Structure 1
């Protein structure tokens, strides 16, 4: 497990160094504050027996991880580097409902130390299924507090299959992006299983990663 992580961490860190050297050649300054948070997402669990995700920052440090024993589980927990639950996404099971939707909870759902009243979703994410309604490039809608209101708070546009997505708010402002990770060095290729998650200032990186998990369940 450590060998696999160190290999990816070293590759990302070396690529980040090359990116910084490339940025210094430009005439305008670009800082982390103006660029937002850049995370590298590896669509693979650190545990050999699991399927999941490994997320590292621009310095090669582990930030988030997901370890699942099932290919398409009804519940997924996003953990930090220490294994603490950050967010839990759970599939909504309603009879006679065609639209695939998920609830997102803070922390770990079902923790015996939490009251049942605290286990309220912070939002609901719904897969767009009607291609003749709304924006054709939208893949999913995000509604705060899992309400049934018609107006969404965020929308995911683009194509997750090609790793070219962006999350926009109700005013069409981009708050996060999923991009193919392109290496500056010609002899480095990351492929489709390793990609970038760019989180713009003011948007929660953990929540952005939760959206990645849901898109993977909906469209992978």
Structure 2
């Protein structure tokens, strides 16, 4: 993708695609003096945005669509020793209003803590907490690298974020990333998990 700023705002799009979708994450807000990130589709159209008007690494972050409608609110748990985040879907009503859609919790691997082997952080992701049968994912992110992988309970890849590489093989800056979402995965939900990834790396 040659352009960083989109020519148009993306129109209403299906949150789930039957094919693999590639997005570009620019870990900057389009609003001056604001922290956040901006997400474009493969055609360079604005799809998602996070604008943090307060301070970097806020304990609460809103994920919006291109028109500014809040889709998810991600909150960091205050009393969590290891690190825990919850995502609340906008529009939930009734008994599910205060129940998170997903929860991300850091997993402790004693071998890696003691020996720093692999330098990989693992996080347990539980999705569908407002339903009777939630499912589990695992999110892995490498220390000092702007990359993460999300896999389901069977080890199947769900989504991946890594540094953007141009068609000529040039690796762009740390603030420009590629997010690949596999078919039949809810894209705005994956975006919520990627926001947690950004908070972990103190990018938002």
Q: Same fold (TM over 0.5)?
A: yes
Bigger radius of gyration: 1
1:216 aligns with 2:195: no
SS at match of 2:33: coil
Query: CA contact under 8 A between 2:65 and 2:71: conserved in structure 1?
Result: yes
Gap runs ≥5 in structure 2:
8-16
Query: CA contact under 8 A between 2:152 and 2:158: conserved in structure 1?
Result: yes
**Partner residue in 2 for 1:201:** 183
In the alignment, the residues of structure 1 paired with residue 145 and residue 63 of structure 2 have an alpha-carbon distance, to the nearest angstrom, of: 23
In the alignment, the residues of structure 1 paired with residue 107 and residue 91 of structure 2 have an alpha-carbon distance, to the nearest angstrom, of: 27
**Partner residue in 1 for 2:13:** none
**Partner residue in 2 for 1:50:** 34
Query: CA contact under 8 A between 2:121 and 2:143: conserved in structure 1?
Result: no
1:103 aligns with 2:86: yes
**Partner residue in 1 for 2:137:** 154
CA pair 7-206 structure 1, distance change in 2 beyond 3 A? same
Match of 1:62 among 46, 59, 82: 46
In the alignment, the residues of structure 1 paired with residue 52 and residue 91 of structure 2 have an alpha-carbon distance, to the nearest angstrom, of: 14
Aligned length: 184
Return the offset for 1:141. Answer: 1.2
Alignment TM-score, normalising by the size of structure 2: 0.78
In the alignment, the residues of structure 2 paired with residue 37 and residue 104 of structure 1 have an alpha-carbon distance, to the nearest angstrom, of: 22
SS at match of 1:9: coil
**Partner residue in 2 for 1:140:** 123
CA pair 59-170 structure 1, distance change in 2 beyond 3 A? same
Matches within 5 A, 1:1-220: 8-9=4-5, 33-34=18-19, 36-69=20-53, 70-94=55-79, 97-107=80-90, 117-132=96-111, 137-145=120-128, 153-159=136-142, 161-185=144-168, 190-220=172-202
Q: Which has the higher contact order (CA 8 A, sep 6+)?
A: 2
Query: CA contact under 8 A between 2:21 and 2:183: conserved in structure 1?
Result: yes
Return the offset for 1:127. Answer: 2.0
Aligned-CA RMSD value: 3.1
Gap runs ≥5 in structure 1:
1-5, 12-31
The answer to which structure has the higher helix fraction is 1
1:37-76 Cα offsets, whole Å, 9 max, x none, are 1000000000011000000000010000000021011110
